[in-house]
Structure 1
Amino acid sequence: MRIEEDGDRVSASRQHLVFAYYVTGHGFGHATRVVEKTEEYEFNLGHDVHVVSAAPDFVFTSEVQSPRLFIRKVLLDCGAVQADALTVDRLASLEKYSETAVAPRASILATEIEWLNSIKADLVVSDVVPVACRAAADAGIRSVCVTNFSWDFIYAEYVMVAGNHHRSIVWQSPISEIPNGVLRLNFDGCHLGEMGIGGLLQGHRCNDIQAFLKRAKFVLPFKIAEDYSHCEFLIRLPGYCPMPAFRDVIDVPLVVRRLHKSRKEVRKELGIGEDVKLVIFNFGGQPAGWKLKEEYLPSGWLCLVCGASDKDELPPNFLRLAKDVYTPDLIAASDCMLGKIGYGTVSEALAFKLPFVFVRRDYFNEEPFLRNMLEYYQGGVEMIRRDLLTGHWLPYLERAISLKPCYEGGIDGGEVAARILQDTAIGKNYASDKFSGARRLRDAIVLGYQLQRAPGRDVCIPDWYANAENELGLRTGLPTIEMNDDSSLMNSCTEDFDILHGDVQGLSDTMNFLKSLVKLDAAYDSGKDTEKRKIRERVAAAGLFNWEEEIFVARAPGRLDVMGGIADYSGSLVLQMPIREACHVAVQRNHPSKQRLWKHAQARQHAKGQGPTPVLQIVSYGSELSNRGPTFDMDLSDFMDGDQPMSYEKAKKYFCPRSITKVGSICCRVDPGFNDRISALSAQDVLNFMSMVSSAVPEGKGVSSSASVEVASMSAIAAAHGLNISPRDLALLCQKVENHIVGAPCGVMDQMTSACGETNKLLAMICQPAEVVGHVEIPGHIRFWGIDSGIRHSVGGADYGSVRIGTFMGRKMIKSMAAAVLSRSLPSSNGISHYELEEEGGELLEAEASLDYLCNLAPHRYEALYAKMLPESMLGETFLERYADHNDSVTVIDHKRSYGVRANARHPIYENFRVKAFKALLTSAASDEQLTSLGELLYQCHYSYSDCGLGSDGTDRLVQLVQEMQHNKVSKFEDGTLYGAKITGGGSGGTVCVIGRNCLRSSQQILEHGLAFLISGLCSFTRHPIHCAGVVTGYLVLKIQIQQRYKGATGYLPLVIEGSSPGAGKFGYLRIRRRFPPKQSVVSLQSNYN
């Protein structure tokens, strides 16, 4: 079906159609599902199919042999570049995509358009090559995408990690001018068209939109999302990712290759009896140097190995399969499969009801959705990477064959998709209505913001994935400090547990956590739990604790960075508020003789030929939502290097490959110095650790989720050992974990606030290195909120680290300048003479020549002497040649990278001054001038972050919304409500801190002046709930308006953080024992967990 220039469609002949089928270069799964659709509709009906793919020919020709199949070997995208068999190299993936698809884009388009016209294609089908859709549109041919994921979503996190300097690889700003009410959008040097603003934005004023776009530094994706927007619709396969680039969607069943032979026939050909257990090893790209060994398989098992090299020698119980073997028949003839998750493996495992033992991969962003679908239908067993490589397969294989996969959905997706594609090719319109340019633009706008945040949960989430989230029933709620007259929850806790030490302090989240421990009984006692589909974390935790023994519970909150932020590592004064949301950790110590280990941990000990040895086992609730395994375990002896605790370097190497279990491993990344305190314990006191982690601190929002896990974990471990560590010392130990083992170059304020904070007070701390100077009471008329931008924050990212490096470069240069003046060796430059410098006095210069913290330099000294002499930026190699080192132990200078110096050095010097002024203003008399001045200091801090390169479009937009609210007529008439806002923490996204008046306001008055959405129709993507507390006040309505306006502009409804709670030090710890422990005779579900 070709599209003529006048827009009229000319129907193709049903008897003979020509399909151009573009297949991505990412993995064989795409090619194999194309085969099923190709065989179904094209050849049986006499149509021609031209497959454009870099996949080997045998993938297509081994099953389909027809003169109407034409294979054209072309690589038009690159997928994900693997650093090793289990990890994606995210930066290399972006660079490879740029090299493959971006740089030669013009020639690719010209070639594809010419080729499509030459074969007289009636329909272009893409799985899921972006440029194919654009080429089809330019050639005047309809196109349809068929996929379970799209590359814009996959690359989103990669761009976030790569940092701002790599954004051009994936997107550019396509906005040029908005003259006379007409919007011109540029893509690839062409414009999408001139659309009337009224049609695009449904009545909103052109001037408002133009100002919004410019202020927000609006960016739209190009090359990927815009390409996808040219297709008619998406045929969406089960296990799909969020794909906001497509508005019109048709869902189809699983696309599965058909069976050619029965299980009995296959086994007979292989000479394998029904009494032999058969596992098919479907694991492409095996780790270098790794070899399969005979002892990996239990007795009575055989393994069929796919893709093994002819050069590899296999043990006698491993059988090499030919490279072109038809794997569906072999999969259906096996008892289970072992491999990596992909669409092909998951779909065939579900279709043939075959248990699938899988190994999780790092940064394969489509994997979580496929994995959740697999586990939802009880078809998956996760194997720890370490156990795969060391051959401890037995417990996983035994667990797999005990499963009863229950997928009952359709598996005729190939037939269904074939009919849809054929009908589309002959002229049928499956789209809900014709796409207008405006509607495509709205999709692209939403996607533009999606690309700037890590993959979220608010855009087109599959029902089974949403169900999986809802089943996380053991989540702690938000704390409520005042319990009012309702003490039922407290009474329930005391009925279930004897609290031998400590006090829940009326915190509802702590009470809910204790109730969650009680709920484990239902999973522990198989007679009580009738739930068909059990969440893995619940199963793993069911038998974790011995209910007859004591359990230690610690709590640590996240924090809101009110003032100070990244100036902490430069020695600034900071003001931090502990938030309501907190992490709870329960720890129990058991003697190895009483241990209840998971089966794979038992197998590991058995393989060592030793008796029971101490083991650490951790369950982390909610970890699957961030693509991490819910469990972690290790032998405690792994912490030791001979008779001494392992070094930081070895600890980092031990945990780094386990990034997929980050929350769990953080809990046991105990600072090696901590072991010095434990070394005083006698050898017989070295016991098993069982730990359960449940955190309500939102991750990736810049509110110290990792610090709360660290502080709560170390507090619980210390309490279980009877160690009395001061909150300050505990925070410093946790910072060492972040810096030297996790590898995040953060300051200490996160851990200090989580450990030392107090309710409704700002922790005041001078970070030199960590001196708490008091707690500033938040005045009753002032309130702080945090609003999440939806853009994922990470202090481990490249931008934060580069700003820190630039700051330390600036300090080194300032010290060098001061020292040079003292030694009379500094040449005159920038108009500053030796005389002018020397006039300032020798004592100040001596102090500045030995400057330990940049914040000890006063702003006037910086401006008078050093500001003009610092370069804007400097290449790492140049700096090292001149200064040798930047004297920061937690960052490393890249020789080839340029670092900002002047703005990065200036920020902490002025931030320290702003924080001191803020602290003084908080204690001054209440007035409008006080609130206005406090707000102005927040604004100044925000724009200073932007000067350092740590801003983001989302946080800028939120700050702008606060400014608009502050200066609107209603706010001025009623003495104002909001006064300032700033980006927080490490910047580059995350949460915005807002300051405002803590007052009641009539909701009717505010609703009369409700603010319309800037861009309507963008809200339909999100499902994120509004987080608000208690009574509807005037400000609450105002807050919702900010949420809704941000949602209207971005498609993302931000989380609002408000309220405060005590730090770990003030909370202390709970020592509890179950009053009515469950019967221990029931076989624990935990023993079956792997």
Structure 2
Amino acid sequence: MAFLTIETQRPANTKSFIFCFYVSGHGWGHATRANQIITDILQLPAGHTVYVVSNATDFIFQGVIKIGAIYRHSLIDAGVVQPLAYTVDREETISQLKAFLERRPETMEKEVKWLKEVGADCVICDAPFLPCAAAEAAGIPAAIASNFTFDEVYEGLCEGDALDEEIRKLNSQVIDDYKNADLLVRLPGAIRIPSFDDSDELVPITPVTSSFPGRKGVVNGKHSLPSVSSSNVRLHDSRRHDRHIIDVPLVFRKFRRPRDEVLAGLNIPKEIRDTHKVLVLSFGGQILGKEGWGDPLPPNWICIVCCASDAAKLPPKFYKATRDAYVPDLTNAADVLLGKLGYGTCSECIGHGTPFVYVPRPQFIEEMGLLKLMKNQGSAVELPREDFEQGKWASYIAKAAELPGRCEPERVVAHNGGEVAARALENFVVDRKRLGRRGDIPSTIVE
């Protein structure tokens, strides 16, 4: 792995660029980390413009819209169909991917036209694939900022049956679109990124089971931990230009309000706040309510539920978070958080030192990298799906509450990933404009 030359004397960029940040509508983790990177881009001295483009509602982008980001709704993502927070509908997911690719020519035409109209200087994807190809067609550079891309997720849905052939056929277009990105800003907890996978020594290979024949094993763990580094990846195709991978520190949103203020805002009485521990139940945008849990909490615990429906009747000692609750405040206020292994949840648990109880979702391959991240940097306890659904939570919560929520100081990964990513993306555009789109990028992307 070749490390970047860090230029400490590089002059600060003063030219304003237009970044178009395409964000997947699948789950909230994409939006939460994209929001942090967008915030840091907008805070750079050059005064950049950022468009955020997504098929997710503008509700989850209100924070960055308030500080200047411009929201645009567009159907740019096929995503993954999840009936529950921890299950994937394989057939429907592939059906939706097929339908999305059938509309690809019209969608491409629309996005290329729009990119030219706004005078875009760079496309950033977390992690839709089609915008990478649209950027190439519009003649502007594209970057991926993510810990995974959906081609690996779709490949992970192969189960050795008749559907596999169709999955791989559709996925070949997905991979080709991603290959139009010249920079990968790789977040902690990464799995294999197929479009940048030219060498075992460059990209960590996703751990696989017997359901994925023909794959190689896990690459040395040193490539999985985040660092400010870069690898040159040269594709063996007609384009023949350098592509770079930068591993950045942890990207996460930080809490704004102290614990007692947060709990008081949920109308939790002071005598309860002072005598009970707090569990936060969060499944990244899934609607939760009473689901036959009974009395799942240990003694002297209360639970705050994110995304409970207005009509949901929760058990005693359960409190609803408001729809617009700032989840990092809740994560910081919690003694333990219960949810799924999603990037937003994992990063915010690590960032706030909150132990995590997770319900596994084995069909979603991103989990492998995130679980490794939690074990390296935080504290995680597995709660089997059956025990979660039956309300048998207490022993798992109690076990997690005994854990520190963070790793030893000498192993802590830096928590300024948003700032590093923002500077890397700015310098990427500077270098592309200076050398021309097809020129080699010097090793100065990060200062």
Unaligned ranges ≥5, structure 2: 1-12, 197-232, 234-243, 441-447
Distance 1:166 1:103, change over 3 A: farther
Q: Which residue is 1:381 aligned to?
A: 381
Deviation at 1:105, TM superposition (A): 0.7
Residues 841-920 of structure 1 mapped to structure 2, 5 A cutoff:
none
Deviation at 1:384, TM superposition (A): 1.7
Q: Which residue is 2:53 aligned to?
A: 52
Q: CA RMSD, aligned part only? A: 2.5
Distance 1:56 1:43, change over 3 A: farther
Asked whether the equivalents of residues 302 and 317 of structure 1 are also in contact (C-alpha less than 8 Å), the reply is yes
Residues 1003-1022 of structure 1 mapped to structure 2, 5 A cutoff:
none
Residues 136-175 of structure 1 mapped to structure 2, 5 A cutoff:
136-163=135-162, 167-171=165-169
Instruction: Find the aligned partners of 2:167 and 2:338 in 1 and give their Cα distance.
Output: 36
Q: Which residue is 2:195 aligned to?
A: 245
Deviations 1:766-790 (A, max 9, x none): xxxxxxxxxxxxxxxxxxxxxxxxx
Q: Which residue is 1:19 aligned to?
A: 19
Instruction: Find the aligned partners of 2:299 and 2:18 in 1 and give their Cα distance.
Output: 53
Whether 1:227 and 2:225 are equivalent positions in the alignment is no
Instruction: Find the aligned partners of 2:361 and 2:298 in 1 and give their Cα distance.
Output: 25
The aligned amino acid for 1:249 is I
Identity of aligned residues (%): 35
Instruction: Find the aligned partners of 1:72 and 1:42 in 2 and give their Cα distance.
Output: 17
Distance 1:412 1:312, change over 3 A: same
The aligned amino acid for 1:403 is L
Q: Which residue is 2:358 aligned to?
A: 358
The aligned amino acid for 2:251 is V
Deviation at 1:429, TM superposition (A): 8.5
Instruction: Find the aligned partners of 2:309 and 2:120 in 1 and give their Cα distance.
Output: 39
Distance 1:364 1:435, change over 3 A: farther
Distance 1:308 1:375, change over 3 A: same
Instruction: Find the aligned partners of 1:126 and 1:330 in 2 and give their Cα distance.
Output: 28
Instruction: Find the aligned partners of 2:71 and 2:363 in 1 and give their Cα distance.
Output: 31
Distance 1:430 1:160, change over 3 A: farther
Instruction: Find the aligned partners of 1:406 and 1:324 in 2 and give their Cα distance.
Output: 27
Deviations 1:361-400 (A, max 9, x none): 1301111221122123350011122221221221111101
Deviation at 1:64, TM superposition (A): 4.5
Residues 569-608 of structure 1 mapped to structure 2, 5 A cutoff:
none
Deviation at 1:95, TM superposition (A): 1.2
Distance 1:429 1:367, change over 3 A: farther
Distance 1:287 1:326, change over 3 A: closer
Q: Which residue is 2:254 aligned to?
A: 258
User: Secondary structure of 1:88's partner?
Assistant: coil
Q: Which residue is 1:456 aligned to?
A: none
Asked whether the equivalents of residues 170 and 224 of structure 1 are also in contact (C-alpha less than 8 Å), the reply is no
Deviations 1:277-330 (A, max 9, x none): 00100024368982444x222221111100000011123311111111111011
Deviations 1:78-118 (A, max 9, x none): 22112444211222211111112x10111111100000000
Deviations 1:858-881 (A, max 9, x none): xxxxxxxxxxxxxxxxxxxxxxxx
Q: Which residue is 1:418 aligned to?
A: 422
Deviation at 1:169, TM superposition (A): 5.0
Asked whether the equivalents of residues 90 and 162 of structure 1 are also in contact (C-alpha less than 8 Å), the reply is no
Deviation at 1:427, TM superposition (A): 2.9
Asked whether the equivalents of residues 424 and 430 of structure 1 are also in contact (C-alpha less than 8 Å), the reply is no
Q: Which residue is 1:277 aligned to?
A: 277
User: Secondary structure of 1:126's partner?
Assistant: strand
Asked whether the equivalents of residues 289 and 308 of structure 2 are also in contact (C-alpha less than 8 Å), the reply is no
TM-score, structure 2 normalization: 0.77
Asked whether the equivalents of residues 53 and 73 of structure 1 are also in contact (C-alpha less than 8 Å), the reply is yes
Residues 518-537 of structure 1 mapped to structure 2, 5 A cutoff:
none
Instruction: Find the aligned partners of 1:76 and 1:162 in 2 and give their Cα distance.
Output: 29
Asked whether the equivalents of residues 290 and 314 of structure 2 are also in contact (C-alpha less than 8 Å), the reply is no
The aligned amino acid for 1:41 is I
Deviations 1:564-597 (A, max 9, x none): xxxxxxxxxxxxxxxxxxxxxxxxxxxxxxxxxx
Distance 1:77 1:430, change over 3 A: farther
Instruction: Find the aligned partners of 1:302 and 1:64 in 2 and give their Cα distance.
Output: 34
The aligned amino acid for 2:257 is K
Q: Which residue is 2:117 aligned to?
A: 118
Whether 1:80 and 2:107 are equivalent positions in the alignment is no
Asked whether the equivalents of residues 170 and 223 of structure 1 are also in contact (C-alpha less than 8 Å), the reply is no
Distance 1:170 1:50, change over 3 A: farther
Deviations 1:205-257 (A, max 9, x none): xxxxxxxxxxxxxxxx6321111111111000010001131133100011101
User: Secondary structure of 2:303's partner?
Assistant: strand
Instruction: Find the aligned partners of 2:310 and 2:182 in 1 and give their Cα distance.
Output: 45
Deviation at 1:63, TM superposition (A): 5.5
Instruction: Find the aligned partners of 1:242 and 1:344 in 2 and give their Cα distance.
Output: 19
Q: Which residue is 1:332 aligned to?
A: 332
User: Secondary structure of 1:279's partner?
Assistant: strand
Distance 1:236 1:330, change over 3 A: same
TM-score, structure 1 normalization: 0.33
Deviations 1:924-983 (A, max 9, x none): xxxxxxxxxxxxxxxxxxxxxxxxxxxxxxxxxxxxxxxxxxxxxxxxxxxxxxxxxxxx
Deviation at 1:274, TM superposition (A): 4.0
Q: Which residue is 2:62 aligned to?
A: 61
Instruction: Find the aligned partners of 1:17 and 1:300 in 2 and give their Cα distance.
Output: 53
Residues 683-702 of structure 1 mapped to structure 2, 5 A cutoff:
none
Deviation at 1:258, TM superposition (A): 2.2
Instruction: Find the aligned partners of 2:160 and 2:293 in 1 and give their Cα distance.
Output: 35
Distance 1:63 1:131, change over 3 A: closer
Asked whether the equivalents of residues 130 and 223 of structure 1 are also in contact (C-alpha less than 8 Å), the reply is no
Asked whether the equivalents of residues 281 and 337 of structure 2 are also in contact (C-alpha less than 8 Å), the reply is yes
User: Secondary structure of 1:82's partner?
Assistant: coil
Instruction: Find the aligned partners of 2:140 and 2:44 in 1 and give their Cα distance.
Output: 23
Instruction: Find the aligned partners of 2:102 and 2:376 in 1 and give their Cα distance.
Output: 42
Instruction: Find the aligned partners of 2:43 and 2:376 in 1 and give their Cα distance.
Output: 36
Whether 1:311 and 2:311 are equivalent positions in the alignment is yes
User: Secondary structure of 1:234's partner?
Assistant: strand
Residues 413-562 of structure 1 mapped to structure 2, 5 A cutoff:
413-427=417-431
Instruction: Find the aligned partners of 2:406 and 2:434 in 1 and give their Cα distance.
Output: 32
Instruction: Find the aligned partners of 1:63 and 1:120 in 2 and give their Cα distance.
Output: 21
Deviations 1:645-700 (A, max 9, x none): xxxxxxxxxxxxxxxxxxxxxxxxxxxxxxxxxxxxxxxxxxxxxxxxxxxxxxxx
The aligned amino acid for 1:261 is R
Residues 942-961 of structure 1 mapped to structure 2, 5 A cutoff:
none
Instruction: Find the aligned partners of 1:426 and 1:42 in 2 and give their Cα distance.
Output: 16
Deviation at 1:140, TM superposition (A): 0.4
User: Secondary structure of 1:280's partner?
Assistant: strand
Q: Which residue is 1:343 aligned to?
A: 343
Asked whether the equivalents of residues 377 and 413 of structure 2 are also in contact (C-alpha less than 8 Å), the reply is no
Instruction: Find the aligned partners of 1:269 and 1:81 in 2 and give their Cα distance.
Output: 34
Asked whether the equivalents of residues 123 and 140 of structure 2 are also in contact (C-alpha less than 8 Å), the reply is yes
Distance 1:429 1:399, change over 3 A: farther
Instruction: Find the aligned partners of 2:149 and 2:142 in 1 and give their Cα distance.
Output: 15
Asked whether the equivalents of residues 308 and 321 of structure 2 are also in contact (C-alpha less than 8 Å), the reply is yes
Distance 1:30 1:113, change over 3 A: same
Instruction: Find the aligned partners of 2:421 and 2:378 in 1 and give their Cα distance.
Output: 27
Asked whether the equivalents of residues 256 and 411 of structure 1 are also in contact (C-alpha less than 8 Å), the reply is yes
Distance 1:287 1:65, change over 3 A: closer
Residues 931-970 of structure 1 mapped to structure 2, 5 A cutoff:
none
Asked whether the equivalents of residues 151 and 194 of structure 2 are also in contact (C-alpha less than 8 Å), the reply is no
Deviations 1:727-755 (A, max 9, x none): xxxxxxxxxxxxxxxxxxxxxxxxxxxxx
Instruction: Find the aligned partners of 1:340 and 1:382 in 2 and give their Cα distance.
Output: 10
